[in-house]
């Protein structure tokens, strides 16, 4: 019985390679089953040395072959490392939301309060300012969930190949995490400006340029990834995600606006 359990073949969650023992012979990741739900999974991704090593190896593969390596990983039914890319993107978003706004250009800063604002407007602006970082994370979740569902429904009906929802979630997590590397670029001048290493004006200018560049890189990468994953034309791979992303952003902003308006209205009614 013990000899049978020792030779039992299991699939590596990092690279999909089948093997036996405590660690994967291909990438070195742990072959132990993950438990503990979402919290346990996040803890494993962040604290386990083998998980981090496997994640870095997969990032290196995707950096070398951004499209083909990502599609190959997503279509590997035994690979489960996509959660690491999602948590990486989430960590980058949280880090960016905690940076001070002093070195941002004027258009990217929270609006200052006005003496002519009504009680409702003051409460709304106060809530937006106090919960700005948390709002970004909520918007991120709503946007991600909305675009995932819409993208899969629209692509599945208009493409010649059949892809499972699980494979699509995996390739979306990879895209989410990989484009977070681009999205991290504007944070560099923002942090340097806050630390007074560079001037505020230079930080604001660099932030705008890098933000535009990272956005264009992200759109191009997602279009190329969709084209390879769904095997569609470049036009359809670019237009459909752009349209879906617009719907996702609108849904997220409407949800946050309704939430803040309700809180501001309640505070005004209570005399705050």
Cα–Cα distance measured from residue 14 to residue 26, given in angstroms and rounded to the nearest whole number: 10
Which tens digits make up the pLDDT trace of 47-100? 444 555 678 888 888 999 999 999 999 998 878 788 889 888 888 877 877 777
* pTM for the structure as a whole: 0.66
Q: What's the CA gap between 103 and 124, in Å, rounded?
A: 24
- At 176-205, the pLDDT tens digits run 889 888 888 888 888 888 888 888 888 888
> Could you give the CA distance from residue 182 to residue 89 in angstroms, rounded to a whole number?
10
Domain locations in the chain as residue ranges: 1-64, 86-269
What pLDDT sits at residue 71?
93
Look at residue 9 in the predicted model and tell me its pLDDT.
72
- Contact of 194 with 99, CB cutoff 8 Å: yes
Question: Do 225 and 89 form a contact (C-beta atoms < 8 A)?
Answer: no
DSSP alpha helices (H): ranges in the chain? 2-6, 37-47, 49-64, 68-75, 82-97, 119-130, 132-158, 165-183, 187-194, 200-230, 234-269
CB of 15 within 8 A of CB of 81?
yes
Q: Could you tell me the pLDDT band of residue 255, with boundaries at 50, 70 and 90?
A: confident
């Amino acid at each position: 019985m013990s000899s049978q359990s020792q030779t039992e073949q299991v699939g590596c969650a990092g690279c999909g390679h089948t093997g036996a023992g405590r660690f994967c012979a291909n990438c070195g990741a742990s072959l132990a089953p993950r438990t503990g739900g979402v919290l346990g999974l996040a803890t494993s991704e962040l604290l386990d040395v083998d998980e981090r090593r496997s994640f870095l190896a997969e990032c290196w593969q995707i950096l070398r072959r951004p499209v083909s390596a990502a599609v190959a990983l997503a279509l590997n039914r035994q690979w489960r490392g996509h959660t690491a890319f999602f948590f990486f993107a989430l960590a980058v978003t949280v880090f960016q939301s905690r940076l001070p706004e002093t070195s941002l250009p004027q258009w990217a800063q929270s609006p200052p309060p006005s003496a002519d604002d009504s009680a409702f407007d003051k409460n709304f602006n106060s809530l937006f300012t106090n919960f700005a970082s948390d709002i970004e994370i909520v918007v991120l979740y709503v946007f991600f969930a909305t675009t995932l569902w819409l993208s899969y429904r629209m692509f599945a009906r208009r493409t010649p190949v059949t892809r499972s929802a699980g494979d699509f979630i995996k390739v979306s997590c990879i895209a989410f995490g990989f484009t977070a590397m681009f999205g991290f670029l504007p944070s560099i001048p923002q942090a340097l400006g806050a630390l007074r290493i560079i001037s505020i004006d230079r930080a604001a200018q660099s932030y705008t340029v890098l933000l535009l560049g990272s956005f264009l890189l992200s759109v191009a990468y997602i279009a190329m990834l969709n084209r390879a994953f769904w095997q569609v034309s470049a036009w359809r791979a670019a237009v459909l995600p752009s349209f879906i992303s617009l719907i996702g952003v609108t849904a997220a902003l409407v949800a946050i606006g309704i939430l803040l308006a309700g809180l501001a209205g309640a505070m005004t009614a209570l005399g705050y």
